[in-house]
Structure 1
């Protein structure tokens, strides 16, 4: 390990920022720690307003040429980035698992291939992005998507590279230049992405990556007058600060925030399927914004559902995420573990009962937990825990189920288990959510709109919606007359 390089399972990772096509070190660093065993991975360059200014300046300087690059050439380069990701799936998988504690098998088989797909999808969508011309009293209307400018993308730690490229790929495809700030708890795969993008031929300054704390570099990025788009995935309080920072410059925002999503289980549902869907909510140690953490079960089947759930959950293997047999790994940080445990302890003190779990394991592992006897207005039902903690409540009517489902300040997603097609249509139409899954979970297509309602976010991304956000839409109206014939 050299001064600016650390090694993770044999993979070299540069710890400096990537600005204007060059590595840039900061005078100060912060320590990156693996949640698997608490081991120190290395010291990472800790950016401040100075690095924010450098990165935005680089993005601004590179913008005119990149915006003028043809759609076909931008798409070709994004496909080359995808090729580079696919060549390094094993490196990316082991580094990300070590850095954030998610399952290695998932990174190998699903997450990192999805990273490559993000680039390919938006490259291909760019080439077919179009709106049919239309007529107004003989005048022709033509809609176009113009690149907006430098874009700041701030991403979370629960799926670092996949969620980063979900933003980076459409921003670059749109013709924008990018400053990416990964979460300080999981900075490593973003650094590898910089290497991959450079090798793919992405021009210097088109993608810039800066590391550090939100209070030190994030605020400088989101308040910068030369930034034309900000996309953020994370918590509501951080989004409120970003919104205030962006307000002075009227910088457009896309915010994908927290969730407290329900899983509605009706008596006519396939109960084994419903149990499988419920247990699946422990995925990634519960660190999934879309997770249906509030299980709402029709009273007549609640006892049987709970029995089957406890049996199914008992088979979950919690341990080292690098082990193929492991089902869920550690939580990301001691601070997060303390937050999770605090939620559960306060709930139990208020009268909740732990059907399973309810306690910390060794290290940063929290036991999968199911709490019953919880009140609708309680903290554990209303606030996002972001850990392997589910609550179970019962209902007796369809109206009550919908009322309970919608009775939080969030509206990111909802999951519904029923054997009645008519009921599914009625209930999904009434649920407040950006995404509703019926008898399934986490089926996502990049061409679909994605985002949340209420405090779960602002705006939608995916497919054309991503280009609508990252571009300035223009309508050109042309008269049928007034032309001169130049022969």
Structure 2
């Protein structure tokens, strides 16, 4: 491996290092891979492709840095993490344009919300760790105390649809807990994670505390999850990849936290706020449908179904499909040619199985090769694949129900359980339905509300574990119970 600390490429005129970041240094690899912008399918440059050697170096660096980082305690680590959050906030504009150029997400959303959330993630967990004292109580003459202890090196593997925000979601609690980390960015969108390494250096994080190894999942990702010195694995991505990682982790009895796929229901009762429900339904096309939380299965009560369908059609017709850098754009491109073919395959198979296209259903060739029209299927056979599997594209289905019981049964008729959204004007019904749906998060008359104090994660095929508040630290920490006989000490 050779150190190339000064070589950078320009991504939307922002200098970004294409190298790994290991032990406080930029490190190159013998191999590389090309990164393509989904906006126009042009090359953004080649980045270093890591494998077992780079992963070993990064984990070794993190292991060396761990004792000193852990010994700082929550307050000492908080100084560095608050500084990191400040650095992120000073680079919002660069982060936003780089991520949009890299993964095709809407620039306005990145600038106004998503990148700021990255700084919030870091700062929130730094502050929460300082409050995490652990419980203490006395029972039958014995005093019990619960301690949250750092565990060692954490492997953080992040997805391409919101790489910076979802990386900081893991980085914040892992570092605040006292662990050191190795990040494996998504190969389709690695650049904002590379910038995060620069920000960590600017914030003064000690070498080895935060490391970034770029590469293909089957190479860098596999080497990282198999490494014997990794104490925790946090992964966000597909259920299929989650199963592979889970098998490897099980062999070494390494705790895992998985946020996986979704096939979430969006349930609309006749007594709901109709306009709000329609706006929320059409909002599921956000990020070209490349959102694991998206309510892609729209379930509407029969008496309002026809009116709802017409309103949804009108709302979808007003969406602008195009360049995500333009403020008027509502729906941008799919991430890669490979992913486009996957989405097209789902649409074609749905048609072949007898589902009816209410609108959309085609690639928008006049806009570009990776732009797929917002699409809605109706009159779908109950056995159809489109109702069962995650498409991860701008494709929704609409079904109708008669009763509350039928709505609950349809909402739960999936192997996934990441999220659900329910619209109703009845508070009692909201409580009943919200409790009956099997999902990690159920939103009532709102969507995408996310407070970091609340637990977040998936049920069933959608994941293992919860993130947020104490739940994050229960994963990233070893929890120790210290039991002492009261009155047994003769000295202080």
Fold-level similarity (TM above 0.5): yes
Find runs of 4+ consecutive structure 1 residues off by over 6 angstroms: none
Q: Please give the residue correspondences for 1:365-444 in structure 2 after superposition, counting only pairs within 5 Å.
A: 365-444=371-450
Give 3-state SS (helix, strand or coil) of 1:311's partner.
Answer: helix
1:3: Cα distance to partner? 8.7
Q: Which residue of 2 aligns with 1:305?
A: 308
Distance 1:467 1:24 in 2: 31
> Distance between the aligned counterparts of 2:262 and 2:210, measured in 1?
30
- Could you say which residue in structure 1 is the equivalent of 2:321? 318
How far the C-alpha of 1:447 sits from its partner, in A, is 0.7
- Asked if the contact 1:223–1:248 (Cα under 8 Å) also holds between the matched residues in 2, the reply is no
- 3-state SS of the aligned residue for 1:306? helix
Q: Is the 8 A contact 1:376 1:404 kept in 2?
A: no
Q: With structure 1 as the length reference, what TM-score do the two structures score?
A: 0.98
Distance (Å, rounded) in 2 between the aligned partners of 1:475 and 1:375: 54
User: Could you tell me how far apart the structure 1 residues matched to 2:350 and 2:30 are?
Assistant: 44
Structure 2 match to 1:17: 20
Equivalents in 2 of 1:421, 1:146: separation in Å?
Answer: 42
Gap regions ≥5 residues in structure 1:
none
Q: In the alignment, what sits opposite 2:140?
A: 137
Structure 2 residue aligned with 1:204: 207
**Residue 342 of structure 1: aligned partner:** 345
SS at match of 2:461: helix
Task: Give deviations 1:191-233, integer Å, cap 9, x for gaps.
Answer: 1000100110111000000001111111111011110000000
Q: Distance in 2 between matches of 1:485 and 1:394?
A: 72
Query: Contact 1:330–1:365 at 8 Å: present in 2 too?
Result: yes
Distance (whole Å) between structure 1 residues aligned to residue 13 and residue 217 of structure 2:
30
Shift in Å, 1:361:
1.1
TM-score with structure 2 setting the length: 0.97
SS in 1 for 2:148: strand
Q: Distance in 1 between matches of 2:471 and 2:290?
A: 26
SS at match of 1:228: strand
Q: How many residues align?
A: 486
Corresponding position: 1:283 with 2:289: no
In structure 2, the residue matched to 1:482 is: 488
Structure-2 residue corresponding to 1:236: 239
Aligned to 1:468: 474
Query: How far apart are 1:288 and its partner, in Å?
Result: 0.4
Q: Does 1:85 align with 2:91?
A: no
Deviations 1:329-364 (A, max 9, x none): 101011111111110111011111111101111221
Deviations 1:275-309 (A, max 9, x none): 11100111110000000000001111100000011
CA distance in 2, matches of 1:482, 1:200: 46
